[in-house]
Structure 1
Amino acid sequence: DVISCGVRPTRRAGFKILELLVRDPTGALRAVWFNQPFLADVFRPRQRIVLYGKLELTSHGLQLQNPQYELLKDKDAEDADPDDRGESPGGDLEGLHTGRIVPVYEKTGHLTTKVQRVLVHQALAGLPADLPDSLPGEVRDRQGLIDRRRALAEVHFPPEGAPLDELNRFRSPAHRRLIFEEFFLFQIGILLRRRAADADLKARPVVITDDIRASARRVLPFRLTGDQKKAIAEIVGDMKRPHPMNRLLQGDVGSGKTIVALMAALVAMENGLQVAFMAPTEILADQHFINIRRLLEGSRFRIASLTGSTPARKRRELQAELAGGSVHMAVGTHALIEEAVAFRELGLVVIDEQHRFGVMQRAALRAKGLHPDVLVMTATPIPRTLALTAYGDLDTSTMREMPPGRRPIKTTAKPESRRDEIYEFMRQQLDSGRQAYVIYPLVEESAKVDLKAATEMADHLAQEVFPAYRVGLLHGKMKEDAKDHVMGAFARGDLDVLVATTVVEVGVDVPNATVMLIEHAERFGLSQLHQLRGRVGRGAHQSFCMLLYQAPLSDQSRARLAALTETADGFEIAERDLQLRGPGDFFGTRQSGLPTLRVGDLLRDHQLMEDARREAVAVLDNPQGAPALIEMVRASWEQRFGLVGVG
């Protein structure tokens, strides 16, 4: 019972304390609230209240500081305004905030946890007892899930005795039910998209003859690994089907994805179809062009390069040749998706480092043909959990095996204090005729400072550390032709040391480079470090990656550097990176194709995602199925999960 209530001023101007004297059968105590004088309008003598908070012993006796409170019905309840009791005219909310497990919500604008609790309680009270359930009954039974009405009620207001630990780990029956439902609806949508794509028919499937097999054997410069053979078989199998291929080829850095893509391209061209091969940067597109042209030198096929720096006259000639069909394969950047570019018969689209392209860019290239086969490649291995979501509508080929003769890269992490030791080691490698990279971080927020540091480091290395060697600088702010000039010089061996920002992260191939020194390694992400490391170890010589860091390290930075020194397996690194960063950051922006999830978490609930996938397949495979459910998903899926369909 409230005995008395009053506001007391303090010496600080405008700072007031509300004091409440309360008692129960065991005695009396004070409750105080700092600078919340409006509460004087809430409390009054003879009210019955419940207080919850930390009890302290002060010079004034027992005291609760800023406790949570709940007003109970009292002698004057009949006359009281419902708003004064913290309840609505629509329902009895006694015992909602205390004496039970209560939900804690993030404050939204002016809506406190307490107000939200009341609103949610009212919304739940208004739900019909026979609330429609989007999960088919047989799925609920197989998965041991509770019904939707009960799940919505219990996830907000758990029953008495529910284990608190289970609730906070999102493992209560109510949580499991709602997470599963979200994943199930997502997977139904992904599978419907995939089946709709399978309903398209391409202009003509390819055929494989003995002549084509012989042509492929002539092009191959070395024996294929088991993984390469398997990937080629899967890709060619797709190309022979009447439906367009939608396949993701993921392979670790250096696993030989380009040769696999080239085999697919050769099959398409032997069948009279054209090929578009799109890379994210000019350096990478040029490198692909040079390698592919060298491998196809003795063949009858014409390969052309089309990038942003192709001169206007040459570009017009190429566009005419592509439209006429005399150029069989175009290798280039996003210049390939410009409106003026048209193909006579585009049969295969290959997109390298596909996470660098937006969804709409990929769609624009696909639209250049009539349902062409599409092969997307990435050297950033996709953890299985994310493959089921971001790439759930693609078939996947995975390559983990390295081509024969590749030696594992030796990786070490060293503090700044051992810089001289690292320079001495680099000098020995340069004396042996090898080349070295020195990588500097460059982030948008501190781009000017980072660029200055990289430029100063290039000068310092050239003049004081390695005066006998040729040192070059490469960074993202340079003009495209200047970048190409520097990269070309390093690839030809005209430079010994290349100081660069992270522009060399993807695909650059210099077999004679054996040292990768990464400055401020603690500032890089794990997958990015692994990609950079993959720029060396591409030739016959032993290669080394050295991670130079500034102490002290945060726990996250220490975990990243430890992961890199302990394993060279890109798939294991991708899993660890996912655990360290979470799914949203793994791909970078929302453009990556990850769904907007309300209750599920891709990492925490990965097993439920796999269960949901299996059940979604079973429902769609059943001819009777669940037509109402499928219609509902078709109508609301893209908006619900924040994803746009591409076709």
Structure 2
Amino acid sequence: MTPETQKQLKITDVSAKKLEKLNLHTAWDLVLHLPLRYEDETHIMPIKDAPIGVPCQVEGEVIHQEVTFKPRKQLIVQIADDSGSVLFLRFIHFYSSNQKQMAVGKRIRAVGEIKHGFHGDEMIHPKIRDAENSGLAESLTPIYPTVNGLNQPTLRRIIQTALDVTPLHDTLPDALLGRLKLPHLAESLRLLHSPPPSFTIHQLSDGTLPAWQRLKFDELLAQQLSMRLARQKRVSGSATALGGDGTLTQALRHALPFALTDAQEKVVSEICRDMAQTHPMHRLLQGDVGSGKTIVAALSALTAIESGAQVAVMAPTEILAEQHFIKFKQWLEPLGLEVVWLSGSQRKKAKDEAKAKLADGTVKIAVGTHALFSDDVEFQNLGLVIVDEQHRFGVAQRLAL
């Protein structure tokens, strides 16, 4: 967060560091940091009518307080409202100030979820208010995702300040909003951050609320646009066309004890067509366990090797990578291709030999784990990268390879 933004939003250095942990660096980041849920502090629920397992607010007089030590140290407070109904409040972490705040005879409000406890209905670590010196909230209270050390009142104040100082210009034309029956961005954001008193928790939690629909639309639109921009950038890049003459792929096909399915033939054809282009290919191959993704990967690898390129096959664990290594050796060594193995647990001598063969181009295909994208691993002409379970790698890790 820049010093200018920090000063404009009146954010302390300590809070700024906490916000960075939430990836909140600008005023717009804060404006788009939406509530997880809401708490209703606008009215008081009689204890006898308070629902189980739903956040609510009750009020009563403290009739008993004690610190117990079994099974662990905790503060137990009992309150009773005007109907005589009693509720236990239990605190596992507390200070002497908490005991003073809830001294016998004090009238307090407690906000939280009621659960069935050993001694009766109870709230565990509820939010406590002094009933005599604080009024009821005028609207529902938003609860935001946060980190330890950044409390909700501070976060609410910072977000409200960001809303006040940020020009909320709409990103979509009025004609499109009218056709899709979506509200304006500023209206949606202000409603979700500061819901009017007329809205209930149920209404605000309903994903069909127009304000939520507007932000969902924006998020999906941004995702689609970013994908389109990424594709344009990829298509504008250059890559060596990997055509292949079919000698190795046909040899493997003849050696297989089975024929490829129509679906496998289709994706092999699509991958080969993409590899023959002069811009980079990014393709995700999906299929159930046992659907034949590995043979598709092997045929794609052979097409790249036929074109004189090298291939890297990476898996997230040694067990999975070793399974691929065994399968690729079984298929490719009879074709005269050596397959090398690279992993973190590999002995230095074997690893150095594999790296030397990749660097001078002697070996065309390597199978391994994260070790494949180590700084000291060099390929003479890496043309195709196959990543199994790519979601288990970071984006930076895949890009490094």
Counterparts in 2 of 1:449-528, with a 5 A limit?
none
Which residue of the partner structure matches residue 354 of structure 1? 390
Which of residues 139, 146, 165 in structure 1 aligns to 2:183? 146
1:190 shift after superposition = 3.9
User: Cα 1:206–1:117, aligned 2, differ >3 Å: closer, same or farther?
Assistant: closer
Q: Return the alpha-carbon distance in structure 1 between the equivalents of residues 247 and 79 of structure 2.
A: 92
Q: Are 2:233 and 1:196 equivalent residues in the alignment?
A: yes
1:122 shift after superposition = 7.2
* CA-to-aligned-CA distance 1:305-324 (integer Å, 9 cap, x gap): 23345443343333222222
Q: Return the alpha-carbon distance in structure 2 between the equivalents of residues 280 and 185 of structure 1.
A: 30
Which residue of the partner structure matches residue 395 of structure 1? none
1:136 shift after superposition = 4.5
* CA-to-aligned-CA distance 1:78-101 (integer Å, 9 cap, x gap): xxxxxx887xxxxxxxxx824xx5
1:19 shift after superposition = 12
Q: Return the alpha-carbon distance in structure 1 between the equivalents of residues 156 and 382 of structure 2.
A: 58
Q: Are 2:140 and 1:102 equivalent residues in the alignment?
A: yes
Retained in 2: the 8 A contact 1:249–1:257? yes
Counterparts in 2 of 1:589-600, with a 5 A limit?
none
Q: Return the alpha-carbon distance in structure 2 between the equivalents of residues 107 and 282 of structure 1.
A: 36
User: Cα 1:314–1:173, aligned 2, differ >3 Å: closer, same or farther?
Assistant: closer
What amino acid is aligned across from residue 369 of structure 2 in structure 1?
A: T
Counterparts in 2 of 1:122-521, with a 5 A limit?
126=164, 131-158=168-195, 162=199, 165-202=202-239, 204-209=240-245, 211=247, 214-365=250-401
Q: Return the alpha-carbon distance in structure 2 between the equivalents of residues 11 and 163 of structure 1.
A: 34
Identity over aligned pairs, percent? 39
User: Cα 1:123–1:224, aligned 2, differ >3 Å: closer, same or farther?
Assistant: closer
Retained in 2: the 8 A contact 1:18–1:37? no
Q: Return the alpha-carbon distance in structure 2 between the equivalents of residues 13 and 306 of structure 1.
A: 63
1:185 shift after superposition = 3.0
User: Cα 1:201–1:69, aligned 2, differ >3 Å: closer, same or farther?
Assistant: same
Q: Return the alpha-carbon distance in structure 1 between the equivalents of residues 249 and 207 of structure 2.
A: 54
Retained in 2: the 8 A contact 1:105–1:116? no
What amino acid is aligned across from residue 237 of structure 1 in structure 2?
A: R
| Structure-1-length-normalised TM-score | 0.39
Secondary structure at the residue paired with 2:286?
A: strand
Q: Return the alpha-carbon distance in structure 1 between the equivalents of residues 158 and 316 of structure 2.
A: 49
What amino acid is aligned across from residue 400 of structure 2 in structure 1?
A: A
* CA-to-aligned-CA distance 1:378-400 (integer Å, 9 cap, x gap): xxxxxxxxxxxxxxxxxxxxxxx
Secondary structure at the residue paired with 1:247?
A: coil
Retained in 2: the 8 A contact 1:301–1:328? yes
* CA-to-aligned-CA distance 1:30-69 (integer Å, 9 cap, x gap): xxxx96489x9xxxxxxxxxxx9xxxxxxxxxxxxx9989
Secondary structure at the residue paired with 1:180?
A: helix
Secondary structure at the residue paired with 2:283?
A: strand
Retained in 2: the 8 A contact 1:155–1:174? yes
User: Cα 1:163–1:327, aligned 2, differ >3 Å: closer, same or farther?
Assistant: same
What amino acid is aligned across from residue 265 of structure 1 in structure 2?
A: A
Q: Return the alpha-carbon distance in structure 1 between the equivalents of residues 300 and 142 of structure 2.
A: 55
Retained in 1: the 8 A contact 2:252–2:335? no
Which residue of the partner structure matches residue 47 of structure 1? none
Q: Return the alpha-carbon distance in structure 2 between the equivalents of residues 283 and 263 of structure 1.
A: 22
1:298 shift after superposition = 3.6
What amino acid is aligned across from residue 140 of structure 2 in structure 1?
A: V
1:144 shift after superposition = 2.0
User: Cα 1:286–1:133, aligned 2, differ >3 Å: closer, same or farther?
Assistant: same
* CA-to-aligned-CA distance 1:144-185 (integer Å, 9 cap, x gap): 211122212322444575576332223221222233333433
Which residue of the partner structure matches residue 56 of structure 1? none
Secondary structure at the residue paired with 2:279?
A: coil
User: Cα 1:196–1:17, aligned 2, differ >3 Å: closer, same or farther?
Assistant: same
What amino acid is aligned across from residue 222 of structure 2 in structure 1?
A: L
Matched residue count: 308
* Structure 1 residues not aligned, in runs of 5+: 1-7, 22-33, 41-51, 53-65, 72-83, 87-95, 366-647
What amino acid is aligned across from residue 343 of structure 1 in structure 2?
A: F
User: Cα 1:257–1:164, aligned 2, differ >3 Å: closer, same or farther?
Assistant: same
User: Cα 1:206–1:219, aligned 2, differ >3 Å: closer, same or farther?
Assistant: farther
* CA-to-aligned-CA distance 1:310-339 (integer Å, 9 cap, x gap): 443343333222222121111223332232
Q: Return the alpha-carbon distance in structure 2 between the equivalents of residues 67 and 274 of structure 1.
A: 65
Secondary structure at the residue paired with 2:284?
A: strand
Which residue of the partner structure matches residue 16 of structure 2? none
Q: Return the alpha-carbon distance in structure 2 between the equivalents of residues 19 and 212 of structure 1.
A: 83
Q: Return the alpha-carbon distance in structure 2 between the equivalents of residues 186 and 221 of structure 1.
A: 43
| Structure-2-length-normalised TM-score | 0.60
Q: Return the alpha-carbon distance in structure 2 between the equivalents of residues 107 and 299 of structure 1.
A: 56
User: Cα 1:156–1:216, aligned 2, differ >3 Å: closer, same or farther?
Assistant: same
Retained in 1: the 8 A contact 2:245–2:307? no
User: Cα 1:104–1:310, aligned 2, differ >3 Å: closer, same or farther?
Assistant: closer
Retained in 2: the 8 A contact 1:281–1:333? yes
User: Cα 1:212–1:158, aligned 2, differ >3 Å: closer, same or farther?
Assistant: same
Retained in 2: the 8 A contact 1:16–1:35? no
User: Cα 1:172–1:127, aligned 2, differ >3 Å: closer, same or farther?
Assistant: farther
Q: Return the alpha-carbon distance in structure 2 between the equivalents of residues 103 and 330 of structure 1.
A: 56
1:272 shift after superposition = 0.9
1:239 shift after superposition = 0.7
Which residue of the partner structure matches residue 28 of structure 2? none
